[in-house]
Amino acid sequence: MNSVELYDTTLRDGAQTEGISYSVTDKLRIAERLGALGVAYIEGGWPGSNPKDAELFRRAKALRLGRSTLVAFGSTARAGHVAKDPNLRALLKAGTPVVTIFGKTWDLHVTEVLKISLEENLKVIEQSVAFLKRRGRTVFYDAEHYFDGYKANSDYALKTLSAAVAGGAEAVIFCDTNGGSLPAEIRDCIQAAKAHLRLPELGIHAHNDSDLAVANSLAAVQAGCRQVQGTINGYGERCGNANLVSLAAVLELKLGVRCLPPGKLKELAETSHFVAEVSNMSQHPSQPFVGARAFAHKGGVHVNAVMKNPRTYEHIDPAAVGNQRKILVSELSGRSSLVLKAKQYDLGLAKETPEAKRLLKLLQRMEHEGYHFEAAEGSFELLLKRHLKRYKPFFTLEGFRVIMERRGKHIGSEASVKVKVDGTPEQTAAEGDGPVNALDNAIRKALKPFYPTLARMHLTDFKVRVLDEKAGTAAKVRVIIQSQDEHDSWGTVGVSENIIEASWQALADSIEYKLLKDQTNHTPATSNKRQATRKARALRR
């Protein structure tokens, strides 16, 4: 198997994503995770540009990065100031064995941005690389805007590469900085450089402005590049950088090109999710290879085929990248989907049984009424277990009341609920910012004496959708609630013409699912219900 080296720039280019702001601690955590994954190079940042990156390199000396190498990033020196250039001095101070500097390849940037002559730019490139090289650093040279520069003035673009090589660069990286090139152009421009110059190791740095960063990076590898730069999840300025997660999967599984240590490809999904979490970014569910929908099947024909042979509708084994198959249920699903989901829930359900037929009709009817179980698998599991009589409710609702009141400029809500647990009645009231919040507070207050683990559960999202806008205020609404405890996250759904009723359905299911999950996992959901009830009442007295 051939091999390439992955060069991660999440901590520098990825940090330029709108909405991302890494602390030094965030960067250190991500660096350690990248080291555990086994990428060859981790670009920590630009120590000459801001105090945060300078601190990162000071603290990074204590990191355990395994076989990964930390890299400091910067630019070529200012014209005429190479020996005293503060940017180059900061790169040396960072103390990394490898540094990457970028220089201008496009004559437009030389004359319009740097405002120097083309010849002077060539001197700056060679002298900057040589300055770092003489001080014991391995130097990678990023040829910024190489493809635009080559198309505008090929002779000059090639001269800039020659200058970097003359200075002692160990690798030359072709950068599609504006992200506007096509794969064929990438291949042709790289091959032209190889034909005219004796170059060291070659690399590719692609941006995704034309949604081609991964494709362009692969074209570069096929043209001879052995270093591939990018970011986890494709983070980066504007439309982002080449997604290293997708690249690693395609390189190893499609092209047979090794880019991670043996066995590490299975950690892609975990790494992708970890970086998204630290970045405070939502993981895109449709992200190839590692997204929640990457191996999700909904159509009955698809599910039936996948159950017989996964290769029918999956291009790789999900486990190869640390992901898993997901079977969705909806009115489009067939009995195969129901049987497979029932198997996941340890329910014996055969495809040709009357129960399977009745469940499919029930599902189709409820989806027609507005229920949406793809985003509410908690409600769907409860539905199956209720229908198959494999489930005993943890509580029954006797009734509830919600009051809204405006006092001056403040609008508040109060809810009261009556429930029974094993025949024991309980009635409580609670206030909230809104009617659903008040109802949530009231039902928790009523049930916590019976089920203390509810204290470790909280709602994380609440969505309302009007299902028939033409019906106006009489329209049905669908409420989807996302809940979470210290271990899992789950969705539940409710549908009604009354938004409070729909909210109650979703809310009650969220609590029921939490208690069912605790029971299934042998977590003590109760601690002697009647004893807890007596103790709670005694405290209230």
Give mean pLDDT, residues 203-229. Answer: 98
Residues 412 and 348 in one domain: no
Average pLDDT (477-492) is 88
Asked if residue 336 belongs to a domain, the reply is yes
Token digits of residue 56: 């990162």
162 and 191 housed in the same domain: yes
Buried b (16+ CB within 10 A) or exposed e, 85-108: bebbbbbbebebebbbbbbbbbbe
Taking residues 326-333, report their average pLDDT: 62
Least confident window among 58-62, 64-68, 349-353: 349-353
Q: Is 383 helix (H, G, I), strand (E, B) or coil?
A: helix
Same domain, 193 and 300: no
On whether both 339 and 412 belong to a single domain, the answer is: no
Same domain, 401 and 516: yes
Query: DSSP letters along 36-50, please?
Result: HHT-SEEEEE-TTT-
Q: Which of 162-176, 252-266, 423-437 is predicted least confidently?
A: 423-437
Mean pLDDT of 307-317: 89
Within this chain, do residues 209 and 351 fall inside the same structural domain, yes or no? no
Same structural domain for residues 153 and 209?
yes
Residue 335 has a pLDDT of 62
- Alpha helices per DSSP H over 228-372: 244-253, 268-278, 300-308, 335-344, 354-369
Q: Looking at the domain assignment, is residue 405 inside a domain?
A: yes
377 within a domain of the structure (yes/no): no
Q: What is the domain range of residue 209? A: 2-278
Asked whether residue 204 is domain-assigned, the answer is yes
Same domain, 39 and 154: yes
Least confident among 320-324, 371-375, 522-526: 522-526
Regarding whether 468 and 341 lie in a shared domain, the answer is: no
Q: What is the mean pLDDT of residues 319-342?
A: 72
Q: Does 337 map to a domain? A: yes
Percent of the chain with pLDDT over 70: 92
Mean predicted confidence (pLDDT) in 485-501: 89
The domain boundary, picked from 314, 344, 363, lies at 363
Vertex 77: Cα angle to 71 and 82 (nearest 5): 110
pLDDT tens digits, one per residue of 389-401: 887 889 999 999 9
Phi, psi at 520, each rounded to 5°: -65, -40
- N-term to C-term CA, the chain: 75
Rank 272-276, 370-374, 519-523, 535-539 by mean pLDDT and report only the highest.
Answer: 272-276
Label residue 460 by pLDDT band (50, 70, 90): confident
Query: What is the pLDDT, as a whole number, of residue 71?
Result: 97
The tally of domains found in the chain comes to: 3
Q: What is the CA radius of gyration of the chain?
A: 30
Q: What is the CATH number of the domain that holds 100?
A: 3.20.20.70
Q: Which of 252, 278, 304 is the last residue of a domain?
A: 278
Residue 419 and residue 532 in one domain: yes
- Lowest mean pLDDT across 164-173, 280-289, 462-471: 462-471
Mean pLDDT (whole number) for 169-194 = 97
Res 537: pLDDT: 43
Predicted TM-score (pTM) of this structure: 0.71
What is the pLDDT of the chain when averaged over all its residues?
88
Enclosing H/E stretch for 438 = helix 435-447
Which residue, of 278, 313, 334, is where some domain finishes?
278
